Amino acid sequence: MDHAGYSSPHPVCTSACRHLPARTLTNALWQYRNRVLPTLPRRGNALLHGLARMACSTRATNNTTKRVVEADKPEANEEDVFGDSELSELSEDSSDEGSDYEATRRKSGKAPPAKKAKTGPGASKSTKSPGKKGSRQTNSLSLLPTMPLDVLFEVFSHLSPKDIINLARTSRMFRETLMTTNATTVWKTAREQVGAPDCPSYMSEPQWAVLLFGNVCQTCGAKNIQRVDFGLLRRVCTNCKKAHLVVESKFEARFPDIDDEVLGFVLYTKIGGWSHGYARSSRFFWAADIDRMVRKLAEYQHNVHLRRAGAQQALKDFKARRMELVQDVRENIKEREDWCDDFLIGRYRDKHAVIEERTEAIIRKFISLGYMASDVEWIRHQRECQQPALLTDRIWTRIRPLLEPAVLQKKRERLEREMKGIRSARRTIVHTSYQEFQTTLMPSQWKYLPRTVDICAMEPFAKVVDAEADVTVTVADFVEAFRQLPDLLSAALDARKLTVRKLFENRHHLYPFELWESRTKQPPPSAQEPEAGEIIEDAGPPSQPLDPLDLATTVFACQEEPCSGYGSTAPYLFGWDGIASHNNCRPDSFSPAADRNLWYLQRIEVSPAPPKVAFSVSGSTAVRAVVKAAGLDEKTATVSDMDAKDLRFECSACTAKKKVGATSWTKPGYKWRDFTYHCTVKHHSSVENVVVVISPENCVKVKEDEMNDPKRAKNLWTCGHCSTYHNLERREVVLEHLKTLHNISTAREPDDLFFLERTISKDIFEAGYPVDAPVTANGSVKTINCLVCCNGKPSGKNRVFNLCGVKSHLNDKHKIHAPIADVHYR
């Protein structure tokens, strides 16, 4: 297990050993190891640093013990065929520059000359003697190499193999010390503590440690190489494998003059450079190992050729040893790879345990500053939390300015979410009182009321709704706001009307007439009426000039997404009355559609403002043609004038339809508003050429068919005399209410009851009157459906043919040359 990364000594180590004399140092180490160390996590570097501080403070010397400089040199192995790659890693960064001990050694023990004292007028006066050192001691490791060798080895035995490797790279002196035969126990003890496989006889302990615990390619020096190829006994990267491995099948081409017998004495692997980590059936050899083995065999064969004594037996013994070595390596690959996998997994878990502990420490730091756990939880995946080093005060000081701005933003978002729930509860109180306020108004005024969310945005209400979270809000807190509500509603309506008027005035140049002309100057166009005596005209002139916003030709379109989204045509708003009553196209949480559209309300931002509208040129142009067809003057005809006419219109460009399940054909008839929208949807550019006023007889039939509109069966009716049904009810319930409570047996719309649709529907119910079946130019009636197109189930939406047309259709489109009645067409 890798325990590198601890930079400060454990306080127990320092306090227990600081003042011990040199002769009891060994006993103190054993006491620390047997009593204290088992209860603490392994911290090799901390222990080493603590003992170094103790050694510097006590100035312990022991002349009877061998020094580091007197350590034995490592013995050379004459049959070492692994080269220097493993050992050379220990010499990386082994420069002695800056080593206080090496500087002293080079000077043969002589102290460096003292610096000359500064003289002259600028010299500072000091009472301190030149040769006297300060009483404050420094944490220097300069005297560590002068410690007794047995003490030093005892310290090193508490390090992990990775720490010992790093220590051997610090200077040449440490490398030479750790490479001696006396230091073998240090490497062995460290290896056994992590449960690593035993070192084979053909490798030294340092070589084995570098192979198992290194992380760089032993050929090119590439870092972070996690896998060891135990077949080659090398840690190499993929690029080096591709460059240096020789597959057995290409040995003869690579070494044409070499007998393939040499391959039996060379280590090999089954994982090539292009194998992506998977074993193959081929054998791959390291090219340098082959070269080295060829040279080694050449030496033995040269001795045999010179007929030296024992040369033949030496060659035979060497081959036997090599074959035994290769066999031993192959037999232990599985065991070593399993340990390596377990070690990597354990190191991964240890690393993430440290990361998790660091993250939790950072979270605790922020919580102690007043943040909530939800504010800080997101930082787990930040780079500052993913470092495998425990949190210290120095690290916290560095990373806090990097993390705290985002944590503060998360806190603001949390408070806003909490405040949103509090505001919602307060809006519920407003909604309940708002419904009570509606009962004080006439039902005909309800359609002009804004939404609850719009009410809550008004200043008297917003002041209470947006109060601090710790303020308790009750119904009594809104009493004064509701007392001001009538004036607030009137002011909001006036402001909205002023905004719409500005939009209208900006587009008045599109009209070929003067919109500001008084209605009194325009005589009623009774001579142009198609049905004489049907319109009841006003007896006298109006008392005030005509407002252009009341004209029927003043057409606006809603720009909000529920009305104009997804590329569809927005429903038209006619005159000021249509604009003022258009408040509920965007449902809020208190609207009747809230339960059905809850998923939608959670994804939109409810805006406390009236819907945005824009003047519609196409709608206004279409209405002008409809007004002229109705016999009114487009310059002065108002919305109420068109409603009073109550005419029905049909489109000459559209053919008659046969509804599903019906036996007769009908021609659709529209109210003037619906006809305008129909012409826009169908893209009729010349409305004056397609608009036709339906005769009074057929108009009655259309109005009777309008009673079948599915919307009339919905809970959208209310009484026109009281506010009993402010939540709206079915038409039958309201009629019964009128009979029992108001003694009205024959109710009239919209005087006694009316249909209150808060949102404008884009689906127009096409009521109609019966007509004859459509006839083509050759006199054939188009009543035949293609059963192939409609899968045997014709409907009113399918195309109809005459007999000749359906046969041509089946032949051209479906390749049916002899169609059969009731099979292919009906």
DSSP letter for each residue of 245-284: EEEGGGHHHHSTTS-GGGGGGS-EES--TTSTT---SS-E
Mean pLDDT lowest among 70-74, 565-569, 753-757: 70-74
Taking residues 683-704, report their average pLDDT. 88
Calculate the alpha carbon distances from 569 to 557, 561, 597, 604 in Å. 9, 11, 21, 21
Q: pTM of the prediction?
A: 0.51
Band of pLDDT at residue 587, cut at 50, 70 and 90: low
For the chain, the average pLDDT equals: 76
Out of 38-47, 471-480, 675-684, 765-774, least confident range: 38-47
Residue 754 confidence class, pLDDT cut points 50, 70, 90: confident
Percentage of the chain surpassing pLDDT 70?
A: 71
Say what the pLDDT of residue 145 is.
64
Of 529, 521, 712, 745, which is closest to residue 627 (Cα–Cα)?
529
Answer whether residue 126 shows pLDDT above 50.
no
Most confident of 81-95, 604-618, 724-738: 724-738
What is the mean pLDDT of the segment spanning 108-121? 51
Q: What is the pLDDT of residue 327?
A: 94
283: pLDDT strictly greater than 60: yes
Taking each helix axis as running N to C, give the angle between helix 184-193 and helix 149-156, from 0 to 180 degrees, rounded to the nearest 10. 20
List the single range of 243-252, 519-528, 571-580, 703-712 with lowest mean pLDDT.
Answer: 519-528
CA geometry: angle 50, 139, 126, nearest 5 deg: 150
Those residues whose C-beta lies under 8 Å from the C-beta of residue 27, and which sit 6 or more positions away, are none
User: What count of other Cβ atoms lies within 10 Å of the Cβ of residue 819?
Assistant: 17
- Tens-digit pLDDT profile for residues 427-483: 889 988 998 898 888 888 888 888 888 888 899 999 999 898 888 999 999 999 999
C-alpha 496/C-alpha 410 separation (Å) is: 38
Dist. CA 203–CA 207, nearest whole Å: 6
Indicate if the pLDDT at residue 339 is higher than 70.
Answer: yes
Q: Examine the pLDDT at 273 and tell me if it is beyond 50.
A: yes
Is 537:512 a contact under the CB 8 Å cutoff? no
The pLDDT of residue 334: 93
User: Average pLDDT in the 364-388 region?
Assistant: 92
pLDDT band at 70 (very low <50, low <70, confident <90, very high): very low
pLDDT at 666: 87
CA distance 506 to 320: 105
pLDDT of residue 20: 32
* Both tokens assigned to 499: 């905004």
| pLDDT at residue number 548 | 85
Whether residue 598 is predicted with pLDDT greater than 50 in this model: the reply is no
Residues for the chain: how many in total? 826
For the cut 90, the answer to whether the pLDDT of residue 298 exceeds it is yes
- DSSP per-residue letters across 574-629: EHHHHHHT---SS--TTSTTTTTTHHHHTTS---SSPPPEEE-HHHHHHHHHHHHH
Which is it for the CA torsion 201, 203, 205, 208, positive or negative? Answer: negative
In this prediction, residue 155 carries a pLDDT of 83
pLDDT number for residue 243: 93
> Residue 776 region, left (φ>0) first, then alpha (ψ -120 to 50), else beta?
beta
* Per-residue pLDDT tens digits for 42-55: 444 444 444 444 43
- Per-position DSSP letters for 643-664, written without gaps between them: HHH---EEETTSPPB--TT-SS
CB 555 within 8 A of CB 570: no
pLDDT at 409 over 50: yes
Residue 57 in this model has a pLDDT that exceeds 50: no
Using the predicted structure, report yes or no on whether residue 381 has a pLDDT greater than 50.
Answer: yes
Element (DSSP H or E) covering residue 406: helix 393-438
How many helices (H) and strands (E) the chain has is answered by 29, 14
pLDDT score at 71: 35
Nearest to 209 by CA among 86, 124, 322: 86
Instruction: Answer yes or no: is pLDDT of 173 > 50.
Output: yes
Burial of 632 per CB tally in 10 Å (0-12, 13-18, 19+):
buried
Please give the pLDDT value at position 77: 44
Tell me which of 404 and 593 has the higher pLDDT: 404
Higher per-residue confidence, 816 vs 512: 816
Q: What is residue 108's predicted lDDT score, i.e. its pLDDT?
A: 42
Please, what's the b/e burial string for 518-557 (b: 16 or more CB within 10 A of its CB; e: otherwise)? ebeeeebbeeebeeeeebeeeeeeeeeebbbbbbbbbbbb
- Cβ within 8 Å of residue 314, ≥6 positions away: 300, 303
Look at 663 and 73; give whichever has higher pLDDT.
Answer: 663
**Residue 666 is inside which H or E element, if any?**
strand 665-669
